[in-house]
Amino acid sequence: MARLAIPKTYKLYIGGKFPRSESGYTFEVTTPKGDFLANAAQASRKDARDAVSAARSAQSGFAGLTAYNRGQILYRIAEVLEGRMDQFVEEIRASEGVSAQAAKKQVERSIDTWVWYAGFADKYAQIAGNGNPVAGPYFNLSTPEPTGVVVALSPAGKTGESLLGPSAVVAPILTSGNTAVVLSHPTQPLSAISFAEVLATSDVPGGVVNILTGNPEPLMPWLAAHADVNALDLAGGSEGDWVSWQSDAAETLKRVLPPSMGIPARSLERIVAFTELKTVWHTKALG
């Protein structure tokens, strides 16, 4: 007897849980040839508000972990992703229309990205911070601290990197202790929301990463102006009204990284971009 297939409906990832969209709306995700793959949730402004609230609630606790512990968490993400290699290869192959070899290479690059940033978690502060020379009997020390809640637009689509895109933007955000609200690319959301299952089964505390699917255009003006969002990573925003979003962000003095050409490369600069330098003065003991 023929078996009836059950198409998967991919949900959002907010606060460590997988809720349906508050709006009740979904959209069809198709292959490059137009064949149906799955249904995905269309995030609403209420969903975005819940995601920001979850990220804010989780931020102080995540920032309060030791840098070494955060590195362990990032490395655990790589371990879980490695164990689910076959799942992601098949999903990428179907959604992007690429060969299994190309899909596997993308998964491997994503894993390597998490390992790379995990290694920097307890090292970047020694490079970005410093002991500053000052006149007078004082110590003057600067150290980087996390900015807070970062909204990130995941690059994908034309670049064809539906898993590497989210990894490349989220990993540096987490390295210094920030939390993230990620808007996946609207045409290639499946690997991003499947990646949420990796986060949920690793050591990442709930709310540290929140992933929204669907059209980001209605959400971005509101998120860019949101007073409880501290920074924007517009890596995947070249196709949207990113100049207007930058203007909205300026009203609340947010840090903004402009759209990137393709997938952002691993770099110390992407870690430091979402930190604030705090300086402490201390009197030297006079002999």
Could you give the angle at the alpha carbon of 161 between the alpha carbons of 197 and 150, nearest 5°?
60
Looking at per-residue pLDDT, the higher value among 239 and 221 belongs to 221
pLDDT at position 159: 62
pLDDT at position 120: 96
**Within-domain flag for 31:** no
Is residue 178 within 8 A of residue 150, CB to CB? The reply is yes
**Within-domain flag for 274:** yes
The DSSP secondary structure of 129-161, one letter per residue, reads -EEPP-SSSEEEEEEEEE--EEEEEPP-GGG--
pLDDT at position 208: 98
Looking at the predicted structure, is the pLDDT value of residue 6 above 80?
no
Q: Which of 189, 148, 153, 146 is nearest to 170 (CA)?
A: 153
For tokens 């799955």, the residue is 38
pLDDT at position 156: 67
**pLDDT category of residue 72 using cuts at 50, 70 and 90:** very high
**pLDDT category of residue 107 using cuts at 50, 70 and 90:** very high
**Within-domain flag for 231:** yes
Is residue 185 within 8 A of residue 165, CB to CB? The reply is yes
Q: Which of 37, 8, 13, 42 is nearest to 27 (CA)?
A: 42
Q: Which of 14, 5, 8, 18 is nearest to 40 (CA)?
A: 8
**Within-domain flag for 1:** no
**Within-domain flag for 90:** yes
Residue 92: both structure tokens together: 């990428």
What distance in Å separates the CA atoms of residue 6 and residue 9, rounded to the nearest whole number? 9
Element (H, E) at 232: strand 231-233
pLDDT at position 158: 60
Q: Which of 11, 10, 21 is nearest to 50 (CA)?
A: 21
Q: How far, in Å, are 56, 123, 182, 210, 241 from residue 227 at the CA level? A: 11, 31, 17, 18, 20
Q: Which of 230, 246, 242, 220 is nearest to 43 (CA)?
A: 220
Q: What is the per-residue pLDDT across 245-287, written as a single tens digit (0 to 9) for each?
A: 999 999 999 999 999 878 999 999 999 999 998 888 778 766 5
- Total number of domains in the chain: 1
Domain that holds residue 140: 12-18+37-283
Residue 14: both structure tokens together: 């907010």
CATH number for 157: 3.40.605.10
pLDDT at position 1: 73
Total H helices, total E strands in the chain: 10, 11
**Within-domain flag for 32:** no
**Within-domain flag for 7:** no
**Within-domain flag for 210:** yes
Q: What is the per-residue pLDDT across 23-40, written as a single tens digit (0 to 9) for each?
A: 999 999 998 899 999 999
Q: Which of 105, 65, 79 is nearest to 208 (CA)?
A: 65
Looking at the predicted structure, is the pLDDT value of residue 129 above 70?
yes
Looking at the predicted structure, is the pLDDT value of residue 77 above 80?
yes
